[in-house]
Amino acid sequence: MRTRMFVVFAGLSLMCATTHVRAHHAFAAEFDAKKPIKLEGAVTKVEWINPHAWIHIDVKRPDGNVDKWMIEGGTPNTLFRRGVNKNSLPHGTVIIVDGYQAKDGTLKGNGRDITFADGRKLFIGSTGTGAPGDPK
Amino acid sequence: MKRHVLLAAILFVALTLPAAGQAPRRTPWGDPDLQGLWTNATITPFERPAELSGKPVLTEQEAAEYEKRTNQARDADSRAGGTEADLGRAYNQFWYDRGTKVVASRRTSLVVDPPDGRVPALTPEGQAKADARAAARKRSPADGPEDRPLAERCILWPTAGPPMLPSGYNNNYQILQTPGYVVILIEMIHDVRIIPLDGRPHAPQNIRQWMGDSRGRWDGNTLVVTTTNFTGKTNFRGANENLRLVERFTRVDGDEINYEFAVEDPSSFTKPWTAAIPMTKTDGPIFEYACHEGNYGMTNVLSGARAEESR
């Protein structure tokens, strides 16, 4: 019985690993896995648009010049349900973005993770965020 | 004593199960009432994973363990599998809304027939067509927008189907009824199905639509929707334009609709198959998802492909 239960649980963990993930489009076609980015910059604009929100930030280079980056986020619908809206990132907020740069070499990236300058995560995992479908 | 136990058991079953003769909710004009806001988000996979073959249903303990493991794995900051896999996951879990629970039946697949929980093999004709599509995608993955998947082009999502399947987010639906019609508003990608119930015939065979041509009828308390006239471009699980889809919506109780669909396409599948996806009550509102509003992703995918070619 114990062995059988182990087999089932082992199966379950494989099942987790293979669960299908799907964003609106293929991120591997848009961004380059060979170009990971870590950026720190101040928010200049949030485009609260479908199918994905875009966060614009000014990133200062060591020489003092400023690069204007665009960071792709999730669907506004989901973010709104989680209590995030365009006012959650006011103009001037400094954020750190962890992601990958666009394949075409322009200053665009995906917002895999976003943290505030003090290290607080802006966006955390799903469970317990009060999103629809969360365990009560 | 035994008799008392038996009587108690019968009484318990009678009190806890919805009685067969219990009147279902009805609209003012007498149709079964399916109206409301519903979600089909679930972590149960569409097909039964090979590792769980022969295990169609989880016990309560296994289901709880599976939910815990899945939700923990999804929430973890995993970079496992290298940067390609990390990029494929797109974001951390916050950006998704895929549900956190298995279906109430605790089945290990949404496919219920065949009993192995797997979509049947394609026919030689179906396989040849699938191979040709795969070869075309490989030959020109991003020459123009037409080469990209329907979801990227904001034409059609699996959430709308039909059949209507859960996806990464926006798995929300509103059902409205009028005398003679059932209307389904689908959050992703703000599609609407307006299904006539008056017995009118399907559109002529030469009329082909992305979402097919749906006709509904009541079979007792169940709404039965038959859809034909698909295009050969949606290819649901390998189906082609001959697909005949029969969906069944049965309100189980106030909080759940049992949604089942049967897939018939003898030219593509070696046998018909069926899946069941519960739709559960959810809170509103449904938000608009104007998919092409800021679809920078499409431009970026195409310009990314041009950049790769010039390397």
Nearest CA distance, B69 vs chain A (angstrom): 7
pLDDT at position B12 is 46
- Which of B58, B91, B116 is the endpoint of a domain? B116
Cβ <8 Å between B93 and A105 = no
Q: What is the pLDDT of residues B213-235, one digit of tens each?
A: 999 999 999 999 999 999 999 99
> pLDDT digits over B86-98, tens only?
776 666 666 778 8
In this prediction, residue A14 has a pLDDT band, given cuts at 50, 70 and 90, of very low
Q: Which of A27, A47, A133 sits opposite B90 (nearest CB)?
A: A27
Domain closes at, from B83, B116, B149: B116
What is the interface size between A and B, counted as CB pairs within 8 Å?
226
Q: What percent of chain B has pLDDT over 90?
A: 75
Residues of A in contact with B58 (CB under 8 A): 8
Tell which of A121, A126, A134, A136 to mutate to test the B interface (max B CBs under 10 Å).
Answer: A126
Q: Choose the closest CB to B282 out of A50, A124, A132.
A: A132
DSSP 8-class letter at B269:
B
Q: Is A11 a domain residue?
A: no
Same domain, B165 and B297: yes
B93 touches chain A (CB under 8 A): yes
Same structural domain, B51 and B169: no
The neighbour count for residue B104, using CB atoms within 10 Å, is 15
Does B177 score more than 70 pLDDT?
yes
pTM exceeds 0.90 for this model: no
Whether A80 shows a pLDDT value over 70: the answer reads yes
Q: In chain A, whose CA is at the least distance from the CA of B291?
A: A51
Pairing of strands B181-186, B111-113: unpaired
Is ipTM beyond 0.85? no
Question: Which CATH number do you get for residue A75?
Answer: 2.40.50.140
The reply to whether residue B154 touches residue A51, judged by beta carbons under 8 angstroms, is yes
d(CA A121, CA B120): 44
Q: Name the residue facing A133 among B51, B100, B288 (closest C-beta).
A: B100
A48 vs B219: CA distance, rounded Å: 44
In a domain, A83, yes or no: yes
Nearest residue, CB atoms, B187 vs list A31, A77, A127: A77
- Within a domain: residue B158? yes
Judged by CB atoms closer than 8 Å, whether chains meet at B287 and A76 is answered as yes
B198 and B247, same domain (yes or no): yes
Which residue is it, tokens 């289901």?
A: B63
Confidence of residue A117 (pLDDT cuts 50, 70, 90): confident
What pLDDT is stored for residue B77 in this prediction? 64
Question: How near does any CA of chain A get to the CA of B147, in Å?
Answer: 12
Of A122 and B68, more confident: B68
pLDDT at B91: 64
The residue segments making up the domain with residue A58 are 23-116
- Chain B from 168 to 207: CB within 8 A of any A CB: 168-170, 172, 187, 189
Counting the structural domains of chain A, the total is: 1
pLDDT (average), residues B73-88: 72
Percent pLDDT > 90 in chain A is 36
**A10, pLDDT greater than 90:** no
Are residues B189 and B289 in contact, defined by beta-carbon separation less than 8 angstroms? yes
* Phi/psi of residue B228, nearest 5 degrees: -130, -165
For residue B125, the model assigns a pLDDT of 97
* H-helix or E-strand spanning residue B66: helix B60-75
Any idea what DSSP says for residue B65?
A: H
The parent domain of residue B179 ranges over 119-311
- For residue A112, the chain B residue with the least C-alpha distance is B91
A14 is a domain residue: no
pLDDT of residue B135: 96
What is the DSSP code string of A45-72? EEE--SS--EEEEEEE-TTS-EEEEEEE
Q: What is the pLDDT of residue A46?
A: 92
Is A23's CB within 8 Å of B152's CB? no
- Residues B71, B127 share a domain: no
Range with lowest mean pLDDT among B41-55, B81-95, B118-132, B256-270: B81-95
The mean predicted confidence, pLDDT, of chain B is 90
pLDDT category at A123 given cuts 50, 70, 90 is low
User: Is residue A50, in this structure, part of any structural domain at all?
Assistant: yes
Question: Using the 8-state DSSP alphabet, how is residue A89 labeled?
Answer: S
Provide the number of structural domains found in chain B.
2
Last residue of a domain, one of B68, B95, B116: B116
Distance between B309 CA and the closest CA of chain A, angstroms: 10
With a CB cutoff of 8 Å and minimum separation 6, the contacts of B157 are B150, B151, B167, B186, B188, B189, B191
